A and B are shown apart, each in its own frame.
Chain A
Amino acid sequence: MRVRVEQTALPGIGVRHDMVTTSGRRLGVVTHRSGRRDLVFYDRDDPDACTADIPLTDDEAEALADILGASLMLGQLSGLRQQAAGLLTEQISIPAGSPFVGRRLGDTKARTRTSASIVAVLREREVIASPDPAFRFEAGDVVVVVGTRKGLDGVTAILADGDPDG
């Protein structure tokens, strides 16, 4: 599980983090002082040179980190999706103005009202799998829901303003 990440200072520019994957490829991230981040991939033949250099904005970097961090959970969910046609998964974020910020998952009564299930919550790059009814939401949480299209829309509406019919 532990991966060795090397950190190198780039005077005048920022920092570079890089690592070598099990498959032998080197990849890294250059973090500029300005906050810009570049995703870099190194050449197979010439491990000192990078072949691709992809600038990412803050939002893009965060989105990429979320995808990578949550990949395990989403992989399992997509397997589930293939097994049962008509069943969908969706990530719904809890906006700061949601009535459920600071309240318990049980209070949403989401399953009873929409028959869709909340199977996981993503909070700050961590995955909280199968949260129980006593779990408390915070603003910025992303809820992973499984259900029919109608059920998912219902949960979205509940989390936004507490009303399953929008």
Chain B
Amino acid sequence: MHDQTVLLIEVGALLLGLGLLGRLSRRIGLSPIPLYLLAGLAFGHGGIVPLSASEEFFAVGAEIGVILLLVMLGLEYTASELVGNLRAAAPAGLIDGLLNALPGAAFALLLGWGWLAAVVLAGITWVSSSGVIAKVLADLGRLGNRETPVILSILVIEDLAMALYLPLVTALLAGIGLLGGAQALVIAVATVVVVLVVAIRYGHIISRMFAPQDPEALLLGVLGLTLLVAGLAAGLKVSAAVGAFLVGIALSGPVAHHATQLLSPLRDLFAAVFFVFFGLATDPADMPPVLLPALGLAIVTMGTKVLTGYLAARRVGIALPGRWRTGLALVPRGEFSIVIAGLAVTSAGVAMEPQLAPLATAYVLITVVTGPMLARLPDMRWFKDWLRRKAQSAAMSPAPVAD
């Protein structure tokens, strides 16, 4: 058969399969991300059916998928929200970074993977999945809850931190070394600050370049600008993902609102391709040896996330049940962890520990499946009863006498 015919058949069959998987995941109330990863594992290198003709298509599609994931993430926030949050939630963000990045780094060093893998794994265990968590909060009817702003601001801080972390990792992975990494970081910080200032002051002027009432022109314009800036950013070693994120932040008002609606279906398509591609690149035969370590890492870092949320909620005076809800909601890791792992795997500069990708896949699979289930825990009868008994026994015990 002709190569292009095979490509159409492969891509078509895979997308159809993903569509059915997505439907299944919604039926059982899960995020489709784990199923897409599993689908990717099933095909590709060492899988049941190796895909040959469409490999290039999936590689390009995955790249666009990351860019769209990030531009949409940026569109969700306004620059003033980011800056406003930075002041209010910085302590919570700091606790989050320390408690969750360090276990990942320590784990990599413990396995003897070297400091570069430690930096990468720190990022993977640090960032919660904004997409999955926002959906879980909406599904559980918790948007009105008083601890929800705490969760959201931790997510915002993480996303902003990624704008600094990704360029650093990109530079390190390109083999530029610590000095080059520092240089990339300086460029990234300067870019982020300039974009934030421009977006706050002149966001409406950038947005005026686009007409929100003309869907076709808006779609092409925003997509074009995003890919262009992402490409330029990658050229500067600032990472394409960060460039896209910044474009999303710079757009505001009705343009951002309409662009979100227009880009959503594209994002869904290419993000699915991205998760599949990550699964494709991993040989399922590599998975069994890393399953136990991944499980251990997942248990430890799920615990530290719960602690992060608990402490952050306590800081702003949320009661005991709310603190548990905050902590358990933050557990799922997802798209960002895969983005970081993907960067590490595809970078040509330095040889990366071969077990990193399977470990990251297994780790994300575990947290993204159990996370949304754990988030439901505080709504259970026995959990509420346990908290109530705890609160009562605390009230019963005599207050310490000051002398």
A residues lining the B interface (CB < 8 Å): 8-13, 16, 18, 28, 30, 33-34, 38, 40, 42, 46-50, 52-53
Interface of chain B: mostly helix, strand, loop or mixed: helix
**Could you tell me if B257 and A34 are in contact, using CB atoms closer than 8 angstroms?**
yes
Chain B min CB distance to A30 (Å): 5
**Could you tell me if A48 and B322 are in contact, using CB atoms closer than 8 angstroms?**
yes
Contacts of A42 in B (CB 8 A): 144, 146
Given A12-B156, A49-B142, A50-B144, 15 new contacts (CB under 8 A): A11-B82, A11-B85, A12-B134, A18-B144, A33-B257, A34-B257, A40-B143, A40-B144, A42-B146, A48-B146, A48-B318, A48-B321, A48-B322, A49-B325, A50-B145
B156 closest partner in A (C-beta): A11
**Could you tell me if B143 and A38 are in contact, using CB atoms closer than 8 angstroms?**
yes
A-B contact pairs, 7 of them (CB 8 A): A9-B81, A11-B153, A13-B134, A18-B146, A30-B144, A40-B143, A50-B141
B313 closest partner in A (C-beta): A48
Contacts of A48 in B (CB 8 A): 145-147, 318-319, 321-322, 325
B residues lining the A interface (CB < 8 Å): 76-77, 81-82, 84-85, 130, 134, 141-149, 152-153, 155-156, 257, 318-319, 321-322, 325
Once the chains are docked, how many angstroms separate the CA of A48 from the CA of B81?
Answer: 23
Chain A min CB distance to B142 (Å): 7
Known: A33-B257, A46-B322. A12 touches B77 (CB 8 A): yes
**Could you tell me if A50 and B142 are in contact, using CB atoms closer than 8 angstroms?**
yes
Contacts of B149 in A (CB 8 A): 8-11, 16
Contacts of A18 in B (CB 8 A): 144, 146
Chain A min CB distance to B44 (Å): 34
B82 closest partner in A (C-beta): A11
Contacts of B325 in A (CB 8 A): 48-49
Known: A9-B84, A48-B322. A53 touches B143 (CB 8 A): yes
Once the chains are docked, how many angstroms separate the CA of A13 from the CA of B135?
Answer: 11
Known: A11-B77, A11-B81, A11-B153. A28 touches B319 (CB 8 A): no
Once the chains are docked, how many angstroms separate the CA of A47 from the CA of B156?
Answer: 25
**Could you tell me if A53 and B134 are in contact, using CB atoms closer than 8 angstroms?**
no
In order of increasing CB-CB distance, the 4 nearest A-B pairs are A40-B144, A48-B322, A53-B141, A12-B76
Once the chains are docked, how many angstroms separate the CA of A18 from the CA of B143?
Answer: 12
Contacts of A50 in B (CB 8 A): 141-142, 144-145
**Could you tell me if A13 and B321 are in contact, using CB atoms closer than 8 angstroms?**
no
**Could you tell me if B322 and A11 are in contact, using CB atoms closer than 8 angstroms?**
no
Once the chains are docked, how many angstroms separate the CA of A49 from the CA of B329?
Answer: 14
B138 closest partner in A (C-beta): A13
**Could you tell me if A46 and B319 are in contact, using CB atoms closer than 8 angstroms?**
yes
From A30, A33, A46, A52, residue with most partner B Cβ within 10 Å: A46
Once the chains are docked, how many angstroms separate the CA of A46 from the CA of B387?
Answer: 11
Once the chains are docked, how many angstroms separate the CA of A16 from the CA of B153?
Answer: 14
**Could you tell me if A49 and B145 are in contact, using CB atoms closer than 8 angstroms?**
yes
